[in-house]
Amino acid sequence: MRTEAPSSSASENLALRKPTYQSQPYFSPNHGSATFASSNAVDGLKNDRSAFGGQCAISADGHYTATWWVNLTSIHSIHDIRIYYRTDNAQWGASNSYTSRFLGFFVYASNTTNIRDGHLCFHDTKYTKATIPAVANITCLVHGQYIIYFNKRPQNSPNADQFYPYAHTELCEVEIYGCNNTGYYGPTCSLPCPDSNCRYCHIETGACQGCKPGYKGHQCELPCDGGRYGQDCGQRCGACLGYKQCHHINGSCLKGCDTGYGGELCQTGIQL
């Protein structure tokens, strides 16, 4: 994790004004809930990093885990993630009480909202109240639809005395830089993935990281076989005539259905 904002290899902030969620949203009788809404972390504003400035996503106190995520609405090639934490516009460091709330955080990239399905981009295991940066810059060269911020209060941690007792999401801006369109890579996301059947490739090198539906292999050079088709060859063919391989992309039976089966994919039993 870097502590100063880098020049990203992909200039578009994919998170800007995308759908968001946070657990245990904070509510104030005097300010309502919109002042602390999860969407504040992707509104493009970060000049007022206080709780009541209306630019930060703030969760309620008294919980041992806290989750915030942004839905990029489709799978994207990610390069780096920047998190601007709540400072209350005060000097950052050991004397700022919010450093202890930031400690121990996790960041995941996932295709679902479940962190167990995702790739761990970063987990803070070494920072203290004196050393954790107010802006976390995380390189995470993967593909995903959801970027998930997660925090919990550790048990039996050697530096547990550094942690605030409860977990929080106090995120004033989360910026995610990467390629807006799949199938491209490079400094301006303008280079097509070198392998023609590659759906997702490494944002810097172009190495294939995921195939288009119907293909497999290191370079996505092989069509699905063995009675499989579709994304990651994860779907099973129906009862094609002679139990032959179905179309590797859409699962259709090229020569029709075997006796006793019908439907577009020959998966429906029919009465003879």
Which residues are CB-neighbours of 156 under 8 A, at least 6 positions away? Answer: none
Q: CB-based contacts of 126: which residues, under 8 Å, 6+ apart? A: none
Give pLDDT, residue 29: 87
Residue 7 has a pLDDT of: 37
Q: Which of 109, 131, 134, 147 is nearest to 4 (CA)?
A: 134
**Cα separation of 168 and 222, whole Å?**
47
d(CA 187, CA 192) in angstroms, rounded, equals 12
Q: How confident is the model at residue 9 (pLDDT cuts 50, 70, 90)?
A: very low
Measure the CA dihedral 208/114/76/136, to 10°: -100
Q: Enumerate residues 6+ apart whose C-beta is below 8 A from 144.
A: 72, 75, 76, 78, 109, 110, 111, 118, 119
At the top level of CATH, the class of 12-179 is mainly beta
pLDDT tens track for 38-76: 999 999 999 999 999 999 999 999 999 999 999 999 999
- Model confidence over 66-125: pLDDT tens digits? 999 999 999 999 999 999 999 999 999 999 999 999 999 999 999 999 999 999 999 999
Q: Is the Cα torsion angle 159, 161, 163, 165 positive or negative in sign?
A: positive
Domains of the chain, residue spans? 12-179
